[in-house]
Structure 1
């Protein structure tokens, strides 16, 4: 591997002997650097700059990961060099006429993104840092050209870049970038929750946090192999187990593995997955580890895979780490033993989040991830559901909080905890907290719904109100006949507070009767006693809701 600089940009290259050239220009900034209300801005810049480029013998692409924005090119060396020269110049000479078009393209692309591996980020990180990748880039609606230019000038600089090539540097290549410093990698803050834990997804998903190392990149291979053996080869209940590794900050990475699963696996799916994790935490099979290391060594020694060494060097440079030669990287691989992987597997097991299909038998010894539910009185403007009193949900909004109530229990959405609020022209609103919990308010679903929307708009700072594109009309709820609604209300079991209130009123009435007309009847005392007893029993049997609450949604899919 060779190292040089091109116009102040660190360049790492190897000579694979190919007649064409592959290049990747890396910048140290990604989706984890973007707050929710600015999500998608780097992706928009990448799309705008690459519009109309490439074709024929020159293939171009780009991507934004949690920590990196990259521009790829492959083709004749002179064409790749010319492309990178034009791209670096275009990054700071943006065409404002492309804004709306590329924003619409990204929104269409967003409809196709997602999946269990992406959702795993939001279950762990919510709507901040690495979790933003799962939120669908709602910040695109706030992307103004002037602010995009400011973002480009802060990210796309010489000091914040690295170039990787699989051949010698073409003559005359220029990288037209301004001066700038290497941007620090933001710390990945996890949601406050007890781990291990589980949640409902549409397939099996296992995720855990490990330290970034060569051994950590081996763990996904071991997890995938274990899932394949257990679920496909032995149980014949899965087709395509998978696993991946994604750095989330300077020192840690998220390892994610999963598999589709047949209905026959549902009773034992969680147990089998956890047994695999426990097996690795007790020490991986040495034969498995040797197989993975042999596969890695073979790939690293393949002349056409030499660029992998340069690619790692580029990423290490952007982390501020020493750059390793291929020999040093091979030595690091060879030194990775069972004990090293075992420590990583134990970290994975202790931070485990399990996504399970709804039909699977859920674990009983670890908690389900649920939104915190509180009890007590709340104050503010109260809005009832359109079908009240058939349902008792209430929305209470003041200057600092929105509360979704049912009885004396509520979920709270504090203004300072709201990462963003999706806003549609038809009045629909969707609050997303930093922990990824959501609250959807459709005006037609609430009495005085337009007033509720006005209250939410006043509560959430304007910078975090995210305009969304037009959508299909939201159908108002089909309301039962008023007689039906009241009949349902009458038949609904009374709350503990309602029973206690009625018992107190009856007791006062009995006391008044005693003072004016003598002793109350035995029957009235029995009724009063029953009401107090029923209130006490219902208070003891109260339940708490989490993500199963239909009005408190799961994190939006990316």
Structure 2
């Protein structure tokens, strides 16, 4: 049973465990509370709070998620008291001397991450804001200052915005949570970049991924298990098309749940996997759900609630529910809700899933044939401004006092300055503007007939707090017009040494002389029958042609070496 008490003004959850004590301090703040121009501030603050503890002997860690940040460890009672006390002290008095070091560590962490198949789904659903920020790099790190971090900590890392949870029989002696006073922060409202659902977008990954948002209730977890069983049966067991077929769900903190499902595919089987995946969804949407699947899913979840460590295992989720104002169930209530799930409820969840679905499909496939609308990849509006033509194609850049647009083969892209989520600025003049709906407009001044004064209009229009300075680029990596590229490629070709040129000229002249003489001799032999009758003449011709080939060899060898 989970007990609720208080430690230094912080709500505290306590549950028994048969193993070593473990504990965590969870705050209601995450990446969804940031803006794209300051994305990374919560993660950086988490690292700074843990940095001075890096040489400790006990195991600890931190995590930053969309709606919460947590510091947790496992160890002895004294170790836990020391760890959490130190974390609170560091949050109150940040060790900002390591600010630039931790920024570099976070950049390295991002660059070394392997991309998951579903990484980009959040930005397609939500755009470049709130819950969509988890799809973006932490561009805000560069401009963050120690004062920015102190203000962020004072607002979000407070007693009222935290929950302490402990898997153990008591609160460790000596634990002090010296956090400032504040207020409980609500979960941000979720935005949307999708005009309509169900929708789909094309991604290079060899997988089909479903993302849906449904109301939170016990039937959602049961439905996720039923969906996984159906996908496994249809795509792996029966058709042998997929190896991985998994589902999962995560509460969003606002009464909604994000449900995900994935099925991988070989390149030559992508169409078949997509078709089978959609068939499974259609089957569940019309209510063709087996009672045996429902019973198996419920039994599996009820069995998980019967383990000795179930209350200790529920503590992190229990804490997040408490922070977000969601209802926490007792074990008996949880079992009762699971056992009360009916086929009709699963059918209702299936309809919600299909109605809100966002489908990621592999390159070369489509899902509009199944009623899915393509997610928007272009803007509806066009900026009113001065036209600047591309130096390479028919593209046009329109720079106005309120917005900038690009019109080209890929459609129209527009970003208004006032609503710009972030503008990345390179020292060489390149700019990348990202709109709240995740539309990206990248401007390379070298590719347009644009004057620096026109670029100044963009810089002046975008609010200063949305601008992020990017590091200098290698000059060779800056895109250039086709004509400049061709000249560079020509100039970059290795030049021949003087002796090679001389040798090729002499070889060519000698080849022409000997070859020409031999050719005239052959023609003469055909014209004058008397010469043709002289056997020694044929010997001269053979020697002439042999010398011609030998004299031409330097040209052939030097030319072939050049190509290699």
Match of 1:325 in 2: 330
How far apart, in 1, do the equivalents of 2:410 and 2:15 lie? 66
Of 86-95 and 110-119, more deviation after overlay is shown by 110-119
Alignment pair present for 1:398 and 2:416:
no
Partner residue, 2:351: 346
Max radius of gyration: which structure? 2
2:428 aligns with: 426
User: What RMSD in Å do the two structures reach over aligned CA positions?
Assistant: 2.5
Q: Which residue in the other structure is 2:8 paired with?
A: 7
Where do 1:306-317 residues align within 5 Å? 306-317=311-322
Q: Does 1:285 align with 2:290?
A: yes
**Contact in 2 for aligned 1:126/1:191 (Cα 8 Å):** yes
What residue number does 1:180 align with?
Answer: 182
Distance 1:398 1:178 in 2: 47
Contact 2:127 2:191 in 1 (8 A): no
- How much has 1:231 moved relative to structure 2? 2.1
CA contact (8 A) 1:268 1:361 kept: no
Q: For residue 411 of structure 1, give the secondary structure of its aligned residue in structure 2.
A: strand
Gaps of 5+ in 2: 488-564
Matched, 1:238 2:238: no
Which residue of structure 2 lines up, in the alignment, with residue 360 of structure 1? 365
Distance between the aligned counterparts of 1:95 and 1:371, measured in 2? 43
Q: CA deviation at 1:213?
A: 2.2
Q: Which of 274, 277, 287 is the matching residue for 1:273? A: 277
**Post-superposition offset of 1:161:** 0.8
Shift of 1:373: 4.7
1:67-466 paired onto structure 2 within 5 Å: 67-111=67-111, 112=113, 114-168=115-169, 169-201=171-203, 202=205, 203-283=207-287, 284-364=289-369, 365-374=371-380, 379-387=384-392, 391-406=393-408, 410-448=412-450, 450-466=452-468
Task: Give 1:96 deviation, angstroms.
Answer: 1.6
Greater relative contact order, per chain length (Cα 8 Å cut-off, separation 6+): 1
Deviation at 1:408, TM superposition (A): 13
Does the aligned pair in 2 maintain the 1:309–1:325 contact within 8 Å? no
Q: Is the 8 A contact 2:413 2:440 kept in 1?
A: no
For residue 64 of structure 1, what is the aligned residue in structure 2? 64
Distance 1:252 1:106, change over 3 A: same
Question: How far, CA to CA, are the matches of 1:337 and 1:408 in structure 2?
Answer: 48
Quick check: 2:395–2:407 contact (8 Å CA) kept in 1? yes
Residues 1:374 and 1:21: Cα distance change in structure 2 (over 3 Å): closer
Once structures 1 and 2 are overlaid, which stretch shifts more, 83-92 or 305-314? 305-314
Contact 2:446-2:481 at 8 Å conserved across structures: no
Mark the CA change 1:240 to 1:432 in structure 2 (over 3 Å): closer, same or farther: same
Name whichever of 275-284 and 72-81 sits farther off.
Answer: 275-284
User: What count of residue pairs does the alignment treat as equivalent?
Assistant: 479
Higher mean C-alpha displacement, 73-82 vs 411-420 = 411-420
Checking the alignment, whether the CA contact within 8 Å between 1:188 and 1:248 is kept in structure 2 is no
Cα distance in structure 2, aligned partners of 1:407 and 1:301: 59
Any conservation in 1 of the 2:200–2:360 contact (CA below 8 Å)? yes
Question: Secondary structure at the residue paired with 1:72?
Answer: strand
Q: Over residues 179-215 of structure 1, what are the superposed CA-to-partner deviations in whole Å (9 max), with x where a residue is unaligned?
A: 2221111111212412112110122111111112232
Deviates more, 1:126-135 or 1:367-376: 367-376
Q: 2 CA distance for matches of 1:472 and 1:237?
A: 44
